[in-house]
């Protein structure tokens, strides 16, 4: 696992430690993390603070070319909302820790030219599995199934 996925996984663990959904993300530009975040819906009572959205928010306002030159790392396949943000900002590449727990809008991203790489990382899979078993109510709320 490279340093950027390790950073995203550390964010996911922070989310779990805070009582939230363990999904983490980092935005990398020219080999440097410019934004990091984790799902904070539970902690902040937010409808939109998924890991990817939090990382984008924490990157701050960037010139358009920065997004177009960046890579987004996320521990879980992006949902429709996060996919929309990826497309809106023109992020060309997304590295996904795993998509076994949840398969997001990878096909849409690929159809729009975004390069996707899915790692099926055991640590990402295990963290989500443990969370989903422990907190099915929160997981189902977050993905809209309850």
Q: Which of 45, 23, 48 lies closest to 36, judged by CA?
A: 23
Distances (CA, A) of 46 to 23, 67, 106, 134: 15, 24, 24, 21
Residue 105 known to be catalytic: no
Given 3, 11, 18, 52, the catalytic residue: 52
Q: Which of 36, 34, 33, 40 lies closest to 17, judged by CA?
A: 40
Maximum alpha-carbon separation in the chain: 41
Catalytically active residues, by annotation: 52
């Amino acid at each position: 696992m490279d340093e950027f996925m390790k950073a995203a996984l550390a964010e996911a663990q922070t989310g779990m430690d805070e009582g939230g959904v363990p999904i983490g993300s980092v935005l990398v530009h020219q080999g440097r993390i410019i934004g990091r975040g984790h799902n904070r819906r539970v902690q902040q009572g937010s409808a939109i603070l998924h890991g990817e959205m939090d990382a984008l928010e924490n990157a701050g306002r960037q010139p358009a070319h920065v997004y177009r030159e960046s890579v987004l790392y996320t521990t879980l396949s992006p949902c429709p909302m996060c996919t929309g943000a990826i497309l809106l900002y023109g992020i060309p590449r997304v590295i996904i820790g795993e998509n076994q727990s949840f398969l997001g809008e990878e096909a849409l991203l690929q159809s729009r030219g975004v390069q996707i790489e899915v790692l099926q990382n055991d640590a990402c899979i295990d963290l989500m599995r443990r969370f989903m078993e422990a907190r099915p109510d929160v997981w189902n709320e977050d993905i809209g199934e309850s």
